[in-house]
Chains A and B, each alone.
Chain A
Amino acid sequence: MNPSAEGLRATFGDAIGRVVEARGETTVFVAAARLLDIMRWLQTAPDQLYNYLVDVTAVEYRDRERPLEVVYQLRSLSRRANLRVKVELDPRGELAVDSVTPLWAGANWLEREVYDMFGIVFAGHPDLRRILMWETYAEGHPLRKDFPLRGRFSRSEQVRQALNANPEANYSLEELSIAEAYGEIPSDMRDRLRRGERGDVGGVE
């Protein structure tokens, strides 16, 4: 068995689930509750040193009964070793897992993309916003299997919303706060924001 998987099992016991080895790649399933501890150990333990986060993504299977998986591809540059760590999330429960951004700054955008595409929430993420879709996007999370390939709204509805969106829809709340601090927000935009509107024009009537 992969020495990292053995080390994980010796250190974290029950928090380590099954270990799959295939095609020269090792996948370790870990408990969501201990993810941050496990990742920190993998990153810093002297015989592990998985200092490079290659990728963070998620998988939803066509079989609705199977849990969603958050997939972390780790690499130790010094040991030239790869490890895949997975966390399973029950789609009927809360789709949430701890963010690894405190350990790897590179996880910031990757986790935002997983949140955007799958709706998985990363607790402790410094800036969890949609990244590829716009912030007022109302159709859901595109890479979920229940999301139709052409989107939930009709093309005409998508065009209507795009044309009717107010300018503030194109700015994040952080940017609007900066503009507000400099008194740069026009009064009509300020009125809409005060009413809690973000420039989105709502779903299908």
Chain B
Amino acid sequence: MSAQHPRTIELEVATPGVDAQGRPVRVPVPAPAGLPAEPDLGGEHLLVNLGPQHPATHGVLRLVVELDGETVIRVIPHIGYLHSGFEKLGEYRHYNQIIPLTDRTDYLSPMANNVCLAMAVEQLMGITITPRCTVLRVIACEMSRIISHLVWLGTTSIDLGAFTPFLWAFQERERIYNLQEQWTGARLTTSLTRVGGMLADIPNGFVENLREFTRTFPKTLEEIDRVLTRNAVWAGRTQGIGVMTAEEAINYSLSGPMLRASGVPWDLRKDQPYLGYETYDFEVPVGEHGDVFDRYLVRLEECHQANRILAQALDRLPDGPINVDDPRVILPPKSRAMSDMEAMIYHFKQVMEGVKAPVGETYCGIENPKGELGYYFVSDGTAKPVRWRIRPPSFINLAAISKMAEGHLLSDLIAINASVDIVMGEIDR
């Protein structure tokens, strides 16, 4: 494929010694004379193809695993089965039209993606959003964090043989989905934000329903905690598995719970605050061993903390408009567009030409449930970006899976893969 890396396949002669990566190459043992030739597996070595259609790979991830008995020698991930070319599509769309694409990248936390996209474009255009909008976006981000972590908790516990937490987690997730449906009309593809504001204000009864959720949700978390944390099977399957030290985690550019479980206290909400996160009272859990168990503990505690932030946000939710008063980016009300000439022109220009961003570029990263989600926009002054880059947290976290899995058992590979918290829509984009 690439002329820079000629890796010719050695047929006929299996070279003894080491390969180009310096790993030992095993030579098949010749069949004893007189016996029929059987496929020689080279001792107990096996090349196993896991996925792309396998429930434990959490989507269309394919892992080609070289095994020595049950021990993983190396893992070669194959991705791209869900590649949709979102970044290319973004170059053909107005900024507000990109928002539905973000729903479909990390589809387990669509509202947080919507928020990040709106923030990136606002940063590019120099727009300051209203106080009510800021708090509503915090609510959207933290609701997303809870549902994303609950999906992670449920599927990981199923992978490791615990069925009950899955049901509890998905039941709670359903309550958030109902709230999402009340707010946006959609359960999955929310498209919640607009440049300079929101799709819609929260509906009547939303605050009460969300408050009821924040009141009762910790009980479920405590039940999951009681079932899993001091469970000997759970601890045995997760402790000391897939360890990344702090230096390795930084060197592999891990982010989110993966980075913090390795003992690096980095959270964009604390270290480069956005949306006024510095004014909320919450803790950032940090692990110390960097194994699967610590990632579980970090995510479980993040659910508690997200719940605390939700309660505080509801308490302080100010009245006022959700959209900025800027006719360049926000559509005038329909009644004014039908009666006022100026409003109609703004309406027409926005619908036909889109929101225009000034020449320049910006990178906006937020702390998504899976890690640092970043949108990098390059604008040439038109309504469509020259380049829309998604910094996908689970793509970068997954890149470390070979490093984490080598030397562990095949069953541990399932635990490690689960602990990364991947979502293929985002990895393949």
Interface size class of B (residues with CB under 8 A): 35 or more
A109 to B80, CA, bound (A): 12
A65 to B402, CA, bound (A): 41
Set of chain A residues within 8 Å of B79, measured between Cβ atoms: 131-132
Q: Report A148 CB to chain B, min CB distance, Å.
A: 10
A44 to B25, CA, bound (A): 36
Tell me, yes or no, whether A92 is within 8 Å of chain B by CB.
Answer: no
Interface size on A, residues (CB 8 A): 68
Q: Are A121 and B4 in contact (CB under 8 A)?
A: yes
Tell me, yes or no, whether A158 is within 8 Å of chain B by CB.
Answer: no
Which residues on A are within 8 Å of B, measured CB to CB? 22-23, 25, 27, 51-55, 57, 59-63, 71, 73, 77, 80, 82, 84, 104-110, 113, 115, 117, 121, 123, 125-136, 142-143, 147, 149, 170-184, 190, 193-194, 198
Q: Are A25 and B28 in contact (CB under 8 A)?
A: no
A121-B4, A193-B9 known; A134+B360 contact, CB < 8 A? no
Q: Are A80 and B47 in contact (CB under 8 A)?
A: no
A80-B271, A129-B2, A182-B26 known; A174+B88 contact, CB < 8 A? no
Q: Are A110 and B47 in contact (CB under 8 A)?
A: no
Which residues on B are within 8 Å of A, measured CB to CB? 1-2, 4-5, 7-11, 14, 19, 21, 25-28, 39-42, 45-47, 64, 66, 76, 78-80, 83, 85, 87-89, 92, 123-124, 126, 248, 250-254, 264, 266, 271-272, 360-363, 365, 372, 374, 376, 378, 380, 386-387, 389, 391, 395-396, 398-400, 403, 428-429
Set of chain A residues within 8 Å of B272, measured between Cβ atoms: 80
Q: Are A174 and B7 in contact (CB under 8 A)?
A: yes
CB closest residue in chain A, given B41:
A182
Q: Report A186 CB to chain B, min CB distance, Å.
A: 9
Set of chain B residues within 8 Å of A125, measured between Cβ atoms: 4-5
Q: Report B420 CB to chain A, min CB distance, Å.
A: 13
Q: Are A178 and B47 in contact (CB under 8 A)?
A: yes
Set of chain B residues within 8 Å of A142, measured between Cβ atoms: 85, 88
